[in-house]
Chain A
C-alpha cells in the first residue's frame, strides 16, 4: 500500500486540537509507529496521547560513572605502588585523600557519558516519518504521518476542520 509522508502544523497554543488530530489519525488506522510529532517546546507524550519515548541515557550515565570510579581506583591505589615514593608521615595510598579524586572522576564519568549518550542517541537513526519544517522553531507543533493514499483526502479534510495547516510535500525536508 502506497503511503505519503504528510505534515500538518498547529500553532503553539492549539495543543488540544493537536491531540484531537492525533486521535483522528488513529481512527483512520494510522498507527503510532507511523506518526512523528515534532515541536518547538517540549510536550510530554501524555499530553498528546502518545506512547512514551524510550531512552537509555540514564543507564549510559550510570555505566559512565562506574567507569570513572574504576579509573579513579586505579589512579589512587594501583599507580602509587608502581614507583613507591614516600612522603612525610602519610601512608602510600591513604583513603581520605583518595576520596577526592574518586568523587571527581566518578562525576566526570557520569556527566560525560550522559552527554555522549544524548549525542549518540540523537545521531542514531530514528523510526517514524522523517521531515522538518522551519516553523517548528517558531513554536509550532508538527505532526508527520505516513498516510495511505486512499485515505489522503478524507484525513486532510478532517484535520483542516480541526484547524491544522497542511504543509506542501516539497517543504518537508530534513533540517
Chain B
C-alpha cells in the first residue's frame, strides 16, 4: 500500500519492466499519484481561473436565458398556450419531450456516483462530482417544465399538498402528482448527495482561499477537521445514500414513464415503458457525462491529469452496453405491436416508420443504435476524446428524437382518423427548449468556478489503494480495500 508505485518490492527493476510501469502510469490515473498538495493546487487553480472566454460565455448564456427562456415564457404566460404549437389531439408537445429529456440526463450523476460506487468501479473517482452537478442542473432545467406546460401556471401550487381551508388536496391517484413527489425527492437527494462528498473538499478550499471564497467555503465546510468520527459518519452517510438513491433514481424515471403508460392512449399502454425509459435515461445520461468530460478536459486547467483516455474508454464501453439494452427494449415494444397489436396500434407504428415525420424515427434508430454499434466496439475510437464527444452528442440527439416519437407523434394518430392531427412546434417552444439548455450550461459554468470539480480526497484515496503487484513476470495493478 502507500502512494508510491514501485514495480517490485525489493528488487531492482529491469529497463523493460520499468517502461511497462511507465506506460501504466500514464494510462491510469490511479497508478499515477501526485502529492496531495499538488493535486489540491491543480484543482484550486482550475476553479479560480476565469478567462475572458469564460466570461464571454457566461454573459452570452445569461442573455440567452433571459431572452429565450424568461422572455418567451413570459410572453406565453401573458398571451396563452396557443403560441405553442400544441392542438387537438396533440395536447403535449416539445415541452413534455424536453422535460423527459432533462430528467433522463439527470440520471447521469446518480449512475456514475452511486451505481459505479456500489460496484467499486475505481475509474469513477475523478468525475463523480462533475456527473452529480449534471444531475442537479439537469433536474433544475427539467423541473421547470411541469410549470411551463401548465395552462394556468399562476395556480401551480394547487398541485402541492398543503392544508387549506377548503380541505382540497391534490389527487394522489394522478401520475402528475407522483411526478411532483418523485422529482422533489430526487432533486433534494441529489443535491445532498452532491454536498456530502463535497465537505472535505470545501475544507481544503477553505484553507487555500481568501475573501468571499473563503467565507463561502468556511460556511459550507461545516467546521470539518477530518477527525475519525467525522470521516466515519460521512462515509456511513455516503454509503446509505449510494444504496438508497439507486431505487429513487429508478423510481423517478419509471414514474415519468407512467405519465404516459397508465393512459388510454394507443401506443402508450405498454408495461415495458418503465424499464425502457430507465435504460434510455441511463444511455442519455452517461453519454452526456462523456460530452461534459470532453468539454471540461479541453477547457479547464489541469483537467487532463484527472480525466484520461481510460475514462472515455470505460464510459464508451458502458454506452455500447446500454445502447444494446435500449435496442432490446425498443424492439420488444415494436415487435409486440407489429405482430399482435390492434388496428389502432399498428397504425401508430406505420405512422412512426412511414409518416411525414418518419425522419424523426430514423434519426432515433441511427443515433441510438447504428452509431454506437458501428463505432464504440473499436478501442481506438473509444480512446479518442473528440470522436467520443461527437458520438455522445448524436446519442443524445437520438434520445430526444425517441421522446419526440413517443409523445407528439403517437398522440396525433389515435383511434379515430377524423381526429388525427399533425403537430408543428412553434418558435416559442423551440426557444424555451433552447433556453433551458442554455440555463443548464450557464449553471454548470458558474458552478465549475465555485466548487472544485474533482473530488481530490476520493482520487487520493483511490491512488493510495492502488499498487502494482509483481505476479510472475509482470506487474499487475491491484486494489486494496481501504474501506
Chain B residues near A57: list those with CB within 8 A: 233, 236-237, 240
Is there an interface contact between B188 and A132, defined as CB atoms closer than 8 Å?
A: no
B482 is an interface residue with CB less than 8 A from chain A: yes
Which one of B36, B177, B225 has the greatest number of beta carbons of chain A within 10 Å?
B225
B342 contacts chain A at the CB level, 8 A cutoff = no
Q: Does B27 contact A (CB under 8 A)?
A: no
Report whether B251 and A134 are in contact in the complex, using a CB–CB cutoff of 8 Å. no
Q: Is B178 an interface residue (CB 8 A)?
A: yes
The residues of A that contact B206 with a CB separation of less than 8 Å are: 175
**Given A79-B169, A98-B172 in contact, is the A15-B2 Cβ separation under 8 Å?**
yes
Contact B222 A119 (CB under 8 A): yes
Indicate whether A13 sits within 8 Å of B4 (C-beta atoms), given known contacts A76-B172, A108-B185.
Answer: yes
Closest Cβ neighbor of A104 among chain B residues: B181
Q: Are B169 and A12 in contact (CB under 8 A)?
A: no
Provide the main secondary structure of the chain B interface: helix
A104: chain B residues at CB < 8 Å are: 178, 181-182, 185, 248, 251, 255
A123 engages B233 (CB within 8 Å): no
Is B247 touching A41 in the complex (CB atoms < 8 A)? no
Q: Does B387 contact A (CB under 8 A)?
A: no
Tell whether A150 is near chain B: CB-to-CB under 8 Å: no
Give the residue of A87, A101, A139 whose beta carbon is less than 8 angstroms from that of B37: A139
Q: Cβ of B169 and Cβ of A97 under 8 Å apart?
A: no
Per the 8 Å Cβ criterion, residues 144-192 of B in contact with A are 161, 166-169, 171-173, 177-178, 181-182, 184-185, 188-189, 192
Task: Give, as a whole number of angstroms, the nearest-CB distance from B445 to chain A.
Answer: 26
Interface: A100 (CB within 8 A): yes
A104-B255, A118-B196, A137-B40 given; name 13 further pairs at CB < 8 Å. A40-B36, A41-B460, A42-B231, A42-B232, A42-B234, A52-B232, A55-B232, A80-B172, A83-B167, A112-B192, A137-B208, A138-B40, A175-B224
Q: How far is the CA of A90 from the CA of B223 in the complex (A)?
A: 53
The CA of A88 and the CA of B324, in the complex, are separated in Å by 40
Is the CB of B380 closer than 8 A to any CB of chain A? no
Size class of B's contact patch?
A: 35 or more
Known: A103-B251, A107-B248, A110-B244. A122 touches B224 (CB 8 A): yes
Q: Is A111 an interface residue (CB 8 A)?
A: yes
**Alpha-carbon distance A171/B464, docked complex (angstroms):** 28
Q: Is the CB of B482 within 8 A of A115?
A: no
The answer to whether the Cβ of A4 comes within 8 Å of any Cβ in the partner chain is no
A129–B329 Cα distance when bound, in Å, is: 58
A33 at the interface (CB under 8 A from B): no
Report the nearest B residue to A121, measured CB to CB: B233
A to B CB contacts below 8 Å, 30 in the list: A12-B3, A36-B228, A38-B227, A40-B460, A41-B460, A41-B464, A42-B483, A44-B483, A45-B232, A57-B233, A57-B236, A58-B240, A61-B240, A83-B168, A97-B172, A97-B173, A100-B178, A107-B248, A108-B185, A111-B244, A112-B192, A114-B237, A115-B237, A118-B234, A126-B227, A136-B203, A136-B225, A137-B208, A139-B37, A175-B225
Which residues of chain A have C-beta atoms less than 8 A from B227's C-beta? 36-38, 126, 128
In the complex, what's the smallest C-beta–C-beta distance from B391 to chain A, in angstroms?
A: 34
Check: A1 CB closer than 8 A to any chain B CB: no
B189 x A107 contact (CB < 8 A): yes
Whether the Cβ atoms of A40 and B457 lie closer than 8 Å is yes
- In the bound complex, what is the Cα–Cα distance between A105 and B248 (angstroms)? 10
The answer to whether B181 and A105 touch across the interface, beta carbons within 8 angstroms, is yes
What is the number of residues of chain A that contact chain B, defined by CB distance less than 8 Å?
A: 64
Q: A39-B231, A101-B181 are in contact. Are A122 and B222 (CB under 8 A)?
A: yes
Q: Do A83 and B166 touch across chains, with their CB atoms under 8 A apart?
A: yes
B20 interfacial by beta-carbon distance below 8 Å? no
CA distance A123 to B16 in the complex (A): 54
Q: Which of B36, B188, B461, B464 contacts A138 (CB 8 A)?
A: B36
Q: In the docked arrangement, what's the CA distance between A15 and B3, Å?
A: 10
Chain A 85-104, CB within 8 Å of chain B: the 1/0 string?
Answer: 10100100010011011011
Bound state CA distance, A37 and B195, in angstroms? 24
Quick one: given A42-B461, A107-B185, are A137 and B233 in contact (CB under 8 Å)? no
Q: C-beta contact mask, A39-79 vs B, less than 8 Å → 1, else 0?
A: 11111110100101111011001000000000000011001
Pick from A41, A47, A123, A139 the residue with the most CB of B within 10 Å: A41
Within the complex, the shortest CB–CB distance from B463 to chain A, in Å, comes to 9
Q: Which residues, 237 to 268 on B, are CB-close (under 8 Å) to A?
A: 237, 240-241, 244-245, 247-248, 251, 255, 258
> Which of B161, B208, B230 is within 8 Å of A79, CB to CB?
B161
**Cβ-based interface call for B204 (8 A):** yes
Q: Is B56 at the interface (CB under 8 A from chain A)?
A: no
Decide: B223 and A174 in contact? CB cutoff 8 A.
Answer: yes
With A100-B255, A119-B222, A138-B40 in contact, is A53–B232 under 8 Å at CB? yes
Interface centre among B4, B178, B208, B258 (most CB of A within 10 A): B178
